[in-house]
Structures are given as structure tokens and as C-alpha cells.
Structure 1
Amino acid sequence: MRRSDGGQGPGPFAPPARTWAVSTTGGEVVRGYLPGWAEDDPSRAGVHPDRLHFALAGIVHQANRGGLVVPVAPGAGPARDAGVLVVTIDCIPFAEDDDPDLPVVNVQIVDDWWIRNLDPAGVTDLGRRLCALGDRLTGTVAPELASARADWAQRHHGDDPVG
């Protein structure tokens, strides 16, 4: 991968040498690589040997990469600020089923709605789609809305309730 400074290498997430460790009450220790970008160290001690596989399956390396905070409302309820389009880089080293065991980007739509397991091409495609949506919102929808509001104001003169 080419870095923005023109050099070769892993780029901005060049990881320092870190490891995590999960140890059992029986003395078994499992260690693994902890990426430099991971925000939390999943190390644990005192895990019952019969629960080790659950402890390992629960390890997720994650880095929050931002998103939007906007007011959202469930149906006709009151609005509250919530994160939407929240982006994380995630890696599940002991992934099960169809989850990849390499870093991916996940995008939380709102609450518990996600666009999951994006590889670099998928992130690029989503970015382009979001840029196109942003361009459409600012270049087309906002002017159309302004026109619709002006038309509405002209025809309703403030006497009629807005429906």
C-alpha cells in the first residue's frame, strides 16, 4: 500500500508491537496480535477453561472512524440525537460462520442497522455513493425544497394550516 507521504508500507495504521492475552484459571494462556489501531485491549484473566472459547469468540478489535450525529425520531415520537452512518474498522480474529477474520469496515445506519464487512473496494464504492448522495442533496434536493417552500408560502399566505 502506498502511503500519502509517497512511501511504501502499511500506512497510517502501522501497528506497534502489541499483543493481547486471555488466561484461564487452569493456567492456559492464549495470546494474539493486537493491531495498533484497535482502541481496546481484550486481555482477560481468570477465565474458566470451559469458557475459553466464548472469551476468544468475543474478541473484536475496533476503531471508531466517525459518523454523523443527527436528530432521529421513531415514527411520530420525539426526536433525539443519534449516531447515523457511524463507521468502524473491525476485526474478529476468531470469527465464526460468515464473518471475515480480517479487518473490514462496518457502517451503522442507525441504532442496530449496519452495512457490514466492506473490503477496500466496498468502502470506495460506498464513499462514491455517499458523495453522489451529498451532491444530489446539495445540488438538486435543497434547491427543489427551497422552490417547494416558496411555492407553499406564496399559495398559503400563512392563513391555512400546513398539512
Structure 2
Amino acid sequence: MNPASALPTTEPDATADSERQWAITTTTGERTTGYLPPWATENPSEDDVPPQEMTARLAGIRHVAEFPGQVLRAYSPGNTTDTPQGMEILRAGITCTPYASAPEPAIPVATVWIADAHQIADLDPTGLAEIIQSLRSVADRLDHVVIPHLNDIRTAWTTHHTSRTEARP
């Protein structure tokens, strides 16, 4: 990637495309614009920024698209009750921080939140495909190994186990 192509442009007000670009305008009238992807959930445009804060504002631009995970009922060590609570797993997002300092990527990457704050971040398409394949392998193991074992174990348990109430005279 050409580093110069990642830099925002400074252009007159009349040439900015408000539907496809963000704009930050300083208190001195300098206007800096950049690409605003259609998938971004927020527009980082801002007016009346002190000129000395422009670099920090650019570094803070972050385009985000979020994708919900699956809510399952689960036990948690932090839960104050003995009942399972809803917990979202495998939430995903695409993030681009175009003016990030190295080593943070300046191109869109994916993040998968396993649960709560546990995440696998900065995934490119290949890395995301590897996560997907791993999850498919886990699902296959649960389906083709764990379920048959559980069925066998439950059958044996039912056949051989005597409950406490049956064992009492």
C-alpha cells in the first residue's frame, strides 16, 4: 500500500462529497476529508477542532460495522445466581482505523468476540476463514463424537445406576 494514498486530503468546502466522505474542519477553517465507507456506522465529521488537535483526531477515526453473535444460556463465575444467564458468543465486527500508528493495521480487519471481552482481533480474510474452519471442526466433534458418547453414557447410566431413593429401605 502506498502510504501517501492513506493520507487524508485537504480540499475546499465545495468539492467534499458529504455522502461518501467525512470532514474535519478546524477553528482556522482548514478542512480535511477522507473516505467514509457505506458500511461505517458512524460519521467522524467534526467542526471547530483546534488545529493542534487535528493529528489526534485523525488517529482516532475508526470505521466500524458490527454483526450480532448468538445468545446462549450459560453459567458464569461472576453470576450471583445459580441459574444460567444469556451470554452472547461469537459476535463479530469489521473495523478500519485508516490513520492508525504502526503496528495497528490501517486497512479493514475483522474481530470475533468469543464471549465478553475475549476476542481474536486483526483478522484478514484468511485468518477469519481459519477461525470459521476451527469452529466447524468443533461443531462436527460435538455432533459426531460428543453426542454419540453422551447417548451411550446415558444409556449405561440408566441401566446401571440406582438412585438414592431406590437404595433406601
The TM-score, its normalising length taken from structure 2, stands at 0.73
- In structure 2, give the amino acid aligned to 1:112: A
| Higher Rg of the two aligned structures | 2
Deviation of residue 143 (structure 1)? Answer: 2.3
- More displaced stretch, 49-58 vs 109-118: 49-58
**Which blocks of at least 5 consecutive residues in structure 2 are unaligned?**
1-18
109-118 or 77-86, larger mean C-alpha shift? 77-86
For the aligned residues, what is the CA RMSD?
2.2
Bigger Cα displacement from structure 2, 42-51 vs 32-41: 42-51
Give percent identity, aligned residues only. 35
The corresponding residue for 1:88 is 93
The whole-number CA distance in structure 2 between the counterparts of 1:48 and 1:42 is 16
In the alignment, does 2:102 pair up with 1:100?
no
TM (norm. structure 1) is 0.75
Q: How many residues align?
A: 144
* 1:40 equivalent in alignment to 2:53: no
Residue number among 129, 144, 155 corresponding to 2:134 in the alignment: 129
Flag the 1:127–1:53 CA change in 2: closer, same or farther, 3 A. Answer: same
Following the alignment from structure 1 to structure 2, what is the Cα–Cα distance between the partners of residues 137 and 114? 22
2:111 match: secondary structure: strand
Question: Unaligned 5+ residue runs, structure 1?
Answer: 1-16
For residue 108 of structure 1, report the CA deviation from its aligned partner.
1.0
Which letter maps to 1:96?
Answer: S
